[in-house]
Amino acid sequence: METVQGLKRTKYCGEFRAADIGSEATVFGWVQKVRNLGGLLFIDLRDRTGLLQCTFDESVDKALFDKAFPVRGEYVLAVKGVIRPRGEAAVNDRMPTGAVELLANELRILNTAKTPPFEIVENTSVNEELRLKYRYLDLRRPDLAKNILLRSKTYKSVRDYFADEGFIEIETPVLMKSTPEGARDYLVPSRVHPGKFYALPQSPQQYKQILMVSGFDRYIQIARCFRDEDLRADRQPDFTQIDLEMSFVDRDDIIAVNEGLLKKVWKDILGLDIEMPFMRLTYKEAMERFGSDKPDLRFGLELTDLTDTLKGCEFKVFAGAIEAGGSVRCITVKGGFDKLSRKEIDALAEYVKTYRAKGLAWVRMGEEMTSSFAKFLKPEELSALLVAAKAEKGDVVLIVADADKVVFDSLGALRGEVARRLDLIDKSLYKFLWVTEFPLLEFDEEAGRFVAMHHPFTSPMDEDLPLLDTDPGKVRAKAYDIVLNGYEIGGGSIRIYNSELQSRMFSLLGFTKEQAKARFGFLMDAFEYGAPPHGGLAFGLDRLVMLLAGCGNIRDVIAFPKVQNASELMSGAPDFVDDVQLDELSIALTRKEED
């Protein structure tokens, strides 16, 4: 094993160009590939920037050639030599450094390596489980390395923006008090206080509001957050937020600051000028037009409400849903006749059942019209339906009748599924959207009470304040989400800053005064010492980077992600700990995984 003593890197491997011809160079890296032609040996050396071909010629330096001979893939090398042109026939146009090569005059084998369990190449089809177990090798692959570099650039862009806008970066504790509303907390036992636990933050929400009371009126933090809930392609239990809070502002001030942020990030990272201001929809509009509070606006397929048209019809499926207070809605797939066969519609019917729809009624408008339900409707009812749905020859109408929530969930999801199947999505588009005026509360059937849709510190809209006592379900909140291409990339609200209103909120949510005081007392106390009007927003940084990187999976932009059962395959976390360690924490286990 040799050392790097006396060597200094001239440039990264991927940075050499024709302009460097004739210069001396020293590079460090990993062996991508050895091509030994017998007497002439090429080594492609890789670092995080790319590849450089290093050449060893037996006829020039026999001893050096012999030293390079046993080099294998992923060995760690230092190579010193002269950059020279490859010669016309030997230029490789497919690589950025393809016009040059490093003719070696010194080689140090800094380390050997075992043959990796998979090849270190771009666009791999290797099973993700194996890649995650050997994450250090996976991260050597250019596509993954590129994502990690892009993420780093994003941090810089974000920090630069907020610094320029007068924001102050402040760290809040990772060990904090458990806040039982909302997601499950990760708990950390206290050694010093037997039986007591810290919680890891689901977000720095209360701390940042306290910072507003303290007068740091523009706060930002790139904050690690933790939620002990099940994973998804776009959800990890251990994730990162761009968290911000501002005082003396209203909703539109916060929206403006964050549109500015996204504009800068898209320019810095992708070189794109995004259109401002962004589109806005109220929650109600978003649900009625797209069946979702995070609609993908890259395609149409908007929902149509058929409830009034079908009121009084005899078809039980429709009539029953309407009588029960639900609705009948559809999406009309223009030109869908050629693309959606009976069989494919059956598959879509199965798809909507995962969203609790009982079925999917349909009309196919070919030469002859066929439908799953036409015989149950009077001819004039059917034609009224088709007029309302704006359905013409060649179209397909897909209908769900049920409670509003089921209709919206299933048609909202179906919109996306149809768009994917019919390839209606232009992947080059970035469609940003603000969704505003979310409901303040939603009724939790299981708990038998209202719960905060956003969180309990969200301010109701002023004009809806009178409804708080009479019809709390109708109260809208000063809450807003930022949506991009069907993903919720951030959300926030104007907060309650009046301790009296905050108390009313807590009692609406079913807390007794004592419970509220025990859980949130420090915040309510703080609000009695001059809380400014304030509000903020938090972005899901991982999701944002995922969309910037153009991947559909959050794991590909996180260096060491967790898998679906929340374990980490490389380190093997979580794991059992020694009894001694448990005893020190005053913890006795009632269950183990093996039981």
Partner RNA sequence: GGCCCGGUAGUUCAGUUGGUUUAGAACGCUAGCCUGUCACGCUAGAGGUCGAGGGUUCGAGCCCCUUCCGGGUCGCCA
Q: Which stretch binds RNA (CB under 7 A): 159-167, 232-240, 261-269, 525-533?
A: 232-240
Give the CA distances from residue 355 to residues 360, 398, 406, in Å, rounded to whole numbers and listed in that order.
Answer: 11, 15, 7
Q: What is the largest CA-CA distance in the chain?
A: 94
Contact status: 33 vs RNA (CB under 7 A)? yes
Contact status: 87 vs RNA (CB under 7 A)? yes
Contact status: 453 vs RNA (CB under 7 A)? yes
Q: Which stretch binds RNA (CB under 7 A): 167-175, 211-219, 426-434, 447-455?
A: 447-455
Q: Distance between CA atoms of 245 and 207, rounded to whole angstroms?
A: 10
Q: Which stretch binds RNA (CB under 7 A): 86-94, 141-149, 276-284, 543-551?
A: 86-94
Q: Identify residues 461-500 at the interface with RNA (CB under 7 A).
A: none
Identify which of residues 515 and 553 has a Cβ nearer to RNA in the complex: 553
Q: Residues 59, 62, 64, CA angle at the centre, nearest 5°? A: 120
Contact status: 181 vs RNA (CB under 7 A)? yes
Q: Distance between CA atoms of 387 and 38, rounded to whole angstroms?
A: 77
Buried b (16+ CB within 10 A) or exposed e, 305-333: ebbebbeebebebbbebbeeebbbbbbbb
Q: Distance between CA atoms of 155 and 268, rounded to whole angstroms?
A: 11
One of 110, 270, 413, 585 touching RNA (CB under 7 A): 413
One of 24, 106, 230, 250 touching RNA (CB under 7 A): 230
Identify which of residues 235 and 289 has a Cβ nearer to RNA in the complex: 235
Q: Per the structure block, which two tokens stand in for 106? A: 């010194």
Identify which of residues 310 and 331 has a Cβ nearer to RNA in the complex: 331
With helix as H, strand as E and coil as C, how does 295-341 read? Answer: CCCCCCCCEEECHHHHCCCCCHHHHHHHHCCCEEEEEEECCCCCCCC
Q: Distance between CA atoms of 586 and 592, rounded to whole angstroms?
A: 17
One of 2, 18, 23, 35 touching RNA (CB under 7 A): 35
Contact status: 200 vs RNA (CB under 7 A)? no
Identify which of residues 3 and 59 has a Cβ nearer to RNA in the complex: 59
Query: H or E stretch including 225?
Result: strand 218-226
Identify which of residues 24 and 444 has a Cβ nearer to RNA in the complex: 444
Contact status: 53 vs RNA (CB under 7 A)? yes
User: DSSP of 359-407, one letter per residue?
Assistant: --EEEEESSSEEESSGGGS-HHHHHHHHHHTT--TT-EEEEEEE-HHHH
- Contact predicate 11/83, CB 8 Å: no
Amino acid at residue number 174 = V
- Output the smallest distance, CB 257 to RNA, in A: 20
Closest CA to 80 of 64, 96, 66: 64
- Binders of RNA: how many residues, by CB under 7 A? 70
Identify which of residues 128 and 217 has a Cβ nearer to RNA in the complex: 128
Contact status: 234 vs RNA (CB under 7 A)? yes
Contact status: 59 vs RNA (CB under 7 A)? yes
Contact status: 57 vs RNA (CB under 7 A)? yes
Identify which of residues 161 and 450 has a Cβ nearer to RNA in the complex: 450
Binding-residue pattern over the window 93 to 132 for RNA, x denoting contact by CB under 7 A: -xx--x--x-------------x-xxx-----xxxxxx--
Give the CA distances from residue 42 to residues 97, 109, 138, 199, 291, in Å, rounded to whole numbers and listed in that order.
Answer: 14, 15, 24, 55, 58
One of 157, 203, 309, 372 touching RNA (CB under 7 A): 203
Identify which of residues 35 and 193 has a Cβ nearer to RNA in the complex: 35
Burial status of residue 565 (CB atoms within 10 A of its CB: 0-12, 13-18, 19 or more): exposed
Identify which of residues 247 and 458 has a Cβ nearer to RNA in the complex: 458
Q: Which stretch binds RNA (CB under 7 A): 10-18, 104-112, 177-185, 373-381?
A: 177-185
Give the CA distances from residue 322 to residues 171, 305, 329, 407, 409, in Å, rounded to whole numbers and listed in that order.
Answer: 52, 12, 11, 12, 17
Q: Residues 254, 257, 263, CA angle at the centre, nearest 5°? A: 135
Q: Distance between CA atoms of 142 and 493, rounded to whole angstroms?
A: 39
Contact status: 455 vs RNA (CB under 7 A)? yes
Identify which of residues 512 and 567 has a Cβ nearer to RNA in the complex: 567
Contact status: 233 vs RNA (CB under 7 A)? yes
Identify which of residues 45 and 377 has a Cβ nearer to RNA in the complex: 45
Identify which of residues 37 and 192 has a Cβ nearer to RNA in the complex: 37
- Output the smallest distance, CB 191 to RNA, in A: 26
Contact status: 202 vs RNA (CB under 7 A)? yes
Contact status: 356 vs RNA (CB under 7 A)? yes
- Output the smallest distance, CB 167 to RNA, in A: 20
**CB neighbour list of residue 589: distance below 8 Å, 6 or more residues apart:** 582
Q: Identify residues 531-560 at the interface with RNA (CB under 7 A).
A: 553, 555
Q: HSE of 456 in the Cβ direction (CA atoms, 13 Å)?
A: 24
Q: Which stretch binds RNA (CB under 7 A): 29-37, 164-172, 310-318, 521-529?
A: 29-37
Identify which of residues 54 and 389 has a Cβ nearer to RNA in the complex: 54
Query: Judging by DSSP bridges, how do beta strands 100-111 and 50-57 pair with one another?
Result: parallel
Contact status: 5 vs RNA (CB under 7 A)? no
- Output the smallest distance, CB 180 to RNA, in A: 9
Q: HSE of 230 in the Cβ direction (CA atoms, 13 Å)?
A: 1
Contact status: 92 vs RNA (CB under 7 A)? yes
- Output the smallest distance, CB 351 to RNA, in A: 9
Closest CA to 476 of 247, 282, 290, 325: 282
Contacting positions for RNA (CB under 7 A)? 33, 35-40, 42, 44, 53, 55, 57-59, 72-73, 86-87, 89-92, 94-95, 98, 101, 115, 117-119, 125-130, 179, 181-184, 202-203, 205, 227, 229-235, 354-356, 409, 413, 451-456, 553, 555, 563-565, 567, 569
